[in-house]
Structure 1
Amino acid sequence: MSTRTSHLPPHGQTKFITDGGLETTLIFHDGIDLPHFASFDLLKTDEGCAHITAYYERYLELAKDAQAGFILESPTWRANRDWAEKIGYGEAELAELNRKAIDLMADLRDRYHSETTPCLISGNIGPRGDGYVPSLCMTVNQARAYHAPQIVTFAKAGVDMVSVVTINYPNEAVGIALACRDVDMPCVISFTVETDGHLPSGEPLCDAIAMVDDMTAGYPAYYMINCAHPDHFRDKLEDDGAWKNRICGIRANASRQSHAELDASKHLDDGNPDELGRLYRDLADLLPNLSVLGGCCGTDHRHVNAMAEHALAHLRSA
């Protein structure tokens, strides 16, 4: 494990940006067909690797200009066994692509890491099932065993942390946190919420965080919210509660549409980048430990640039 993890929120002082909506950018802006929304499939060719590299370079330049840290989230959100089987990959091929993804992130880190722009590599994993709807729901132990192979691969490849995003029910989050603990790997849990601010499985965000912390002895380094517009959860953050201190990152959607509406849409809703950046500035007033700014569906470098412009200075002065 790298000494760079000393930068990790909430204990480190570094403020980070990360990327936006990788898959929606590749599909809608770059015109690339991604089977089952799986960006890791691009890693099988040199041309695909070049697309991935160019995507991250744009964000790394933003971080360099902003003198902010950068979290390199590997393009492996769908790189687990079930989704790989749908595309046609076996376990050995899948493990090799997960390793290749981390090698690509390491090359970018080595090129951009500096005292003013520290770079962390995060092995990014997603839910076993659908990102919007709780499906293939597992017990804690089932989730722990299911996600362990990808987490072990990341640990051996030398990541600084593991981030699981778009988790929509608590048991899977608990299992992933325990699988990370099994290999002494820092982990970040990012929940998605519906337009009412609750997880798709129905739990309030505060209860989901409390459950994971209780069942893992507080193992996650921090929590994030992703794949929802700030309007969907901002009012929940206005409540008092120490649980808000555990939220250190936001990766919001550009669109105010619900998950069901986004799933049915054939066109990209990229919202208003400047407005989204200003909403992040408001979120900084509600989250005392907010340290990681990035985007999810529909966002791109314009949105993340606006987040940096409107929220970074405010975070640094807090």
Structure 2
Amino acid sequence: MNTRTEQVLAQLAAAPMLTDGGLETDLVFNHAVDLPNFASFDLLSTDWGREKLKTYYRSYLELARTHGCGFVLETPTWRASRDWGEKMGYDVQALAAVNADAVAMMQALREEFADVAPVLVSGNIGPRGDGYVVADKMSAEQARDYHAEQIDALAAAGADMVSVLTLNYLEEGLGIAMAARERGIPVVVSFTVETDGRLPSGESLGDAIAEVDAQTDGYPAYYMINCAHPSHFHDMLAAAEGDWTARIRGLRGNASRCSHEELDAAEVLDDGDPQAFGREYRELHAVLPNLRVLGGCCGTDLRHVTEIAAACL
């Protein structure tokens, strides 16, 4: 563990922290924003898009201010890697610039909300492929090399850490942890799970966390679960053996109880029950002793994170 990672963990220990909800689903379904390829980073290219993003993040920072807690500001760069960038007409240089621009926007928002503390700027990374479907699996070394470009750009721009969300198989998470370790930047690794609590690849969450830790000497600052409803993994965590659950410090659940397959086929947003969602987060504290970072994923918006804050802070 390096000094920067120790600093991140010290800030998490000082106070619970909120983060945002499902940026892309909120923009698409609640605000009628067109996001080709679910790529919110493209909004940085226009004044209108930049204001949309700032308004979105400010609402969550106001919530953190109300509760007197910290906040993790995730850049809108989940799709800002080479393969997805090419689909959007961005070359390598343009992608590096947009990742840097996203970090700069988050840093400016941190200054604007200087009374909210601590605020961590996290460079957000997504999977190379589909977040729900395991296809064209990479080796850990291939994943390291692929994601290194984006990690380089985010680190050079001054992100406090990088967070990779919605991973569905082990090797991609391991490769990203390896790349972050080589660059000395703290990394958060977040896997998604199916309704049975296992990764879409069939691996158990505990095995995936244990293997990444074993291969990197425990380099990730912490792990998260995202893009799954709390009911999909509560029982699995409650029955877990060993101390690997202590490595999970963050949670960004889906609003819907639907499976990934059902969500892919859905034509309307299932935003669930925000109040029940908050209560389910509170119940997870009993099985996740180090849970500190609380936010949402697909289908969630400010209402859901407000209920999480009311139930858990």
Report TM bin, short chain.
over 0.9
Letter in 2 for 1:231: S
SS at match of 2:130: coil
2:12–2:292 CA contact under 8 A, matched in 1: no
CA deviation digits over 1:121-159, x for unaligned, max 9?
000000000010112211111000000010011111001
Partner residue, 2:200: 200
Shift of 1:5: 6.5
After the TM superposition, which residues 87-236 of structure 1 pair with which residues of structure 2 at under 5 Å, given as runs? 87-114=88-115, 117-236=117-236
Letter in 2 for 1:109: R
Partners of 2:211 and 2:8 lie apart in 1 by: 26
- The answer on 1:66 being equivalent to 2:67 is yes
1:84–1:94 CA contact under 8 A, matched in 2: yes
Partners of 1:9 and 1:256 lie apart in 2 by: 34
TM-score (norm. length: structure 2)? 0.96
SS at match of 2:194: coil
Partners of 1:235 and 1:217 lie apart in 2 by: 28
- Report the count of equivalent residues: 311
Residues 241 and 10 of structure 1: is their aligned pair in 2 closer, same or farther, counting only changes over 3 Å? farther
Partner residue, 2:41: 40
TM-score (norm. length: structure 1)? 0.95
Letter in 2 for 1:261: E
Partner residue, 2:280: 279
Partners of 2:58 and 2:71 lie apart in 1 by: 11
Shift of 1:117: 2.6
Shift of 1:12: 2.3
CA deviation digits over 1:15-52, x for unaligned, max 9?
10000000001100110100100100111111101000
Partner residue, 1:315: none
Residues 263 and 237 of structure 1: is their aligned pair in 2 closer, same or farther, counting only changes over 3 Å? same
1:126–1:167 CA contact under 8 A, matched in 2: yes
Shift of 1:8: 2.6
Partners of 1:113 and 1:184 lie apart in 2 by: 26
Alignment root-mean-square deviation, CA: 1.6
1:277–1:310 CA contact under 8 A, matched in 2: yes
Q: Which range moves more in the overlay, 232-241 or 45-54?
A: 232-241
Shift of 1:270: 0.3
Letter in 1 for 2:306: N
2:5–2:221 CA contact under 8 A, matched in 1: no
Q: Gaps (5+ residues) in structure 2?
A: none
2:253–2:296 CA contact under 8 A, matched in 1: yes
Residues 147 and 257 of structure 1: is their aligned pair in 2 closer, same or farther, counting only changes over 3 Å? same
Misfit runs of 4+, over 4 Å:
1-5
Shift of 1:87: 1.4
Q: Gaps (5+ residues) in structure 1?
A: 313-318
CA deviation digits over 1:296-318, x for unaligned, max 9?
00000000010000011xxxxxx
Partners of 1:2 and 1:44 lie apart in 2 by: 35
